[in-house]
Amino acid sequence: MSAHVVTAQPEKAAAAASVPSASASASSLQMKPIAAQTQAALWASRVLGRYHYKAVPLDDAMSAKIFDNYFETLDSEKLYFVQADIDRFAPLRTKFDDAINNEDLTSPFQIYNLYQQRFADRMTYARELLKTKFDFSADETLQLDREKSPWAKSEDEIRDLWRKRVKNDWLRLKLAGKEDKAIRETLDKRYENYISRVKKLNNEDVFQMFMNSYATAIEPHTNYLGPRSADNFDIAMRLSLEGIGAVLQSREDYTIIREIVPGSPADKSGKLKVGDRIVGVAQGNAPFTDVLGWRLDDVVALVRGEKGSTVRLDVIPGDGGQDAKHVTVSMVRKKISMEEQAAKKSIIKVKEGGVERRIGVISLPTFYQDFEARRKGDKDFRSATRDVARILGELKKEKVDNVLIDLRNNGGGSLIEAIELTGLFIDKGPVVMQRTAEGRVEVESDTTPGLAWDGPMGVLINRGSASASEIFAAAIQDYGRGLVIGEPSFGKGTVQTLIDLDRFSQSDKVRYGELKMTIAQFFRINGGTTQLRGVSPDIKLPVLSDVENFGESSYDNALPWVAIKPATYLPAGDLKELVGPLQKRHDARIAKDKEFQFLQEDIAEVMRLRKENAISLNETVRRKERDAQDARAKLREARLAGGSGAETDEPARAPGSKEARGKVPEATKPGKSVVALRGSPRQDDGLQADERNLQAELAAEKAAKDAKDVLLQEAANILADEVGMLKTDTRMASRAMPYMASPRGN
């Protein structure tokens, strides 16, 4: 979109309807919009109203949707506001359109200021409750998911809700073996930290939450990104940044080193380790800036910097107490590649009937590309396709029999990468179609002849596979090029582009942020869309996701499924004859597989808890539940250890297993809350988090990564079966894999 698309100048007008401000007790916390934000809101509304795929006028009806979305963003679990608060702001329900058009955003900031006051009120009450005694013999329950619940009708009702929440927090620590004094101190510090975290939000965060309430009211995948979030989104797509190579996290008032990238300045310094606490940052020889209690993104902004510049950190070693001797670490920044998000390979060996099949697995967490480097003509620019092509070359040399592209929880990324990655497995031809708001259909094709891999292949997907992942999986399926294995994908079949609102700014120093805006819809080359329904796998694995609360179909305003005229393309193969026999072998195998049986049990348990949506606050009942889980876990371990021919790998840490059972009740939390736009702030008060030691948390994560992946192993088994069938039936092989001159391998 060129910079001249919106030409109207904003007009000043009367202020929007006002409401009483929050009480004077919270006056020190009052936030107000700045001029750049009111201007950004106006320009964003003009772009959205004219160029969005589903252009909707900013009127009273849209204002009402923004109103509801905004309160949902601030208090999705109905834990802070009461009905009287909503009623108090009811006059604004149809006034947000006027507020944006008149460049007066006082009202949404008033709502936020009241939210902040209510949050402090609830935390103060929670801390007061810690001075009382709880009756754990009473038979009462706590509702776990309140997203669809009505607002509390009174202060008495919401205070009773908080009494139960604090009681549950206390009971969890009591069941963990803590004494009353330690429980009281732990929870008091926890609630104090929640207040501190909310206080760290600034007016850019508030503005972004309000604008996202507007953007997502149009459809789910349109978002507003404030200047800082826009920067972070760009970094995520490039998979690189200029800095020191340390992943940071906030814990209490400290910025903690969570991970160190191998080969980075942080690693080469030899002075930093996981768990160290950063309390000061200095640029070059300048004085240190104290960052104790700072927001994490503010600290990150200080640590990042231009390649070749020097940064100094004031660090308290993680293995020392708060009074431990500080260490100063000086480093020269360089370009860091965020390898944890890049494509990775592994080989799974499957033995059956004395024959070993080697399945090459390529895990791809996102479709990334360093757009800036490519634009500048850098021949070595980073991209998912380039990395996968290199890995395929390595797998060829290692003589794998089949290749599996693991796209589980890959939420998408670059459309160009989805097309070019498909081109590694087909000769050339159309990959995806796009239809614009005007109805114009464009066909996006792979134009590079030749294949990087001409053998059999498969794609592993789950409900978290979205957007570009679905384009790739659908193209592989429509061409008959490979088997799609897993559960139905997310169903995001819309196209977004980033609109830089800074182009409308009158000053280089005033930033308006960006819009991630839906401008078109994806269609498979067979004419159907991936929107809403997603990609249905050829071989179905157990459904692990909460499909009611996770996926495109969980959004009330998602675009519908439609079909258009198919593209002209030549199928690369026909795998239909393979699907039935492979599904039967899969079903027979998992019926005898102990780990799969355990997985099914875990799924059933999670589904039961989701349906119940409540947890007992009776200590006896909770202890019985915990003992039952312990007994089930011990029985499982005994069955695995005593099984005939059982592998020695650890069992997968599925929800409900021994390693994860403490978190099973939290599985009722709707899944959609975890698919927020990367870098987009959402109202996260931390109340769902467990109080855990950092080292223990990291150890648990490592164990989970190292654990045997039951679903990945079964996908490899399926592809090994496919190899066997293709080797023994040349007629089927010629139909399924015409690229192959003859059966591969032994």
Residues catalogued as catalytic: 467, 478, 492
Contacts of residue 151, defined as CB under 8 A and 6 or more positions apart, other chains included, come to 78, 81, 82, 83, 85, 86
Q: Which residues contact 177 (CB under 8 A, 6 or more apart)?
A: none
Type of residue numbered 78: K
Residue partners of 450: CB distance under 8 A and separation at least 6: 427
Q: Cα 337 vs. chain centroid, distance in angstroms?
A: 20
Contact 518, 465 (CB under 8 A): no
- Enter the tokens of residue 79: 């834990």
Angle between helices 203-218 and 60-74 (to 10 degrees): 130
Q: What type of residue is 146?
A: R
Q: Which residues of 271-282 are buried (b: 16+ CB within 10 A; e: fewer)?
A: ebeebbbbbbbb
**Three-class SS of 48-84:** HHHHCCCCCCCCHHHHHHHHHHHHHHHCCCCCCCEHH
Question: How does strand 514-523 pair with strand 344-352?
Answer: unpaired
| Buried-exposed string 399-437: b where 16+ CB fall within 10 A, e elsewhere | ebbbbbbbbbbbbbbbbbbbbbbbbbbbeebbbbbbbee
Pairing of the two strands 334-337 and 310-316: unpaired
> Which helix (DSSP H) or strand (DSSP E) does residue 163 occupy?
helix 155-175
Neighbours of 54 (CB within 10 A): 14
Tally of CB atoms within 10 A around 3: 10
Query: Of 459, 392, 354, whose CA–CA distance to 746 is shortest?
Result: 354
Query: CA-based angle 448:234:4, to the nearest 5?
Result: 85
Q: What is the C-alpha to C-alpha distance for residues 53 and 438, in angstroms, rounded to an integer? A: 8
- Residue 612: partners with Cβ closer than 8 Å, 6 or more residues away: none
Q: What are phi and psi of 628, to 5 degrees?
A: -65, -40
Q: Are 492 and 412 in contact (CB under 8 A)?
A: yes
| Sign for the pseudo-dihedral over CA of 722, 727, 733, 739 | positive
User: What are the C-alpha distances in Å from 589 to residues 459, 582, 594, 715?
Assistant: 20, 10, 10, 12
Q: Which residue has the tokens 């814990």?
A: 251
